[in-house]
Amino acid sequence: MSHIQVRFNTKANGSPLVWRVVVDGNEILAEHVEIHGSCYSEESLVSGEKKYNIACHGTVEVIENKAVIKTT
């Protein structure tokens, strides 16, 4: 079971990869996100900057630039 955070990629600069999906600290960029199950909001600090996330515990599978998240 992984800790997963989802937030908008403010540095996409025209790229279709507009979502940051952070899985146990490792980032995946995605064009779409699909979440199956319960999630909650949380805050985190990234390089001293406050970020607002949708978070959950579960698994992530990437299918053609879509992150499919299943919570536990």
The ranges assigned to domains in the chain are: 2-71
Q: If DSSP states are collapsed to H, E and C, what string results for 13-69?
A: CCCCCCEEEEECCEEEEECEEEEECCCEEEEEEECCEEEEEEEEEEEEEEECCEEEE
Q: What are phi and psi of 6, to 5 degrees?
A: -125, 130
pLDDT per position as a tens digit, 9-68: 999 999 999 999 999 999 999 999 999 999 999 999 999 999 999 999 999 999 999 999
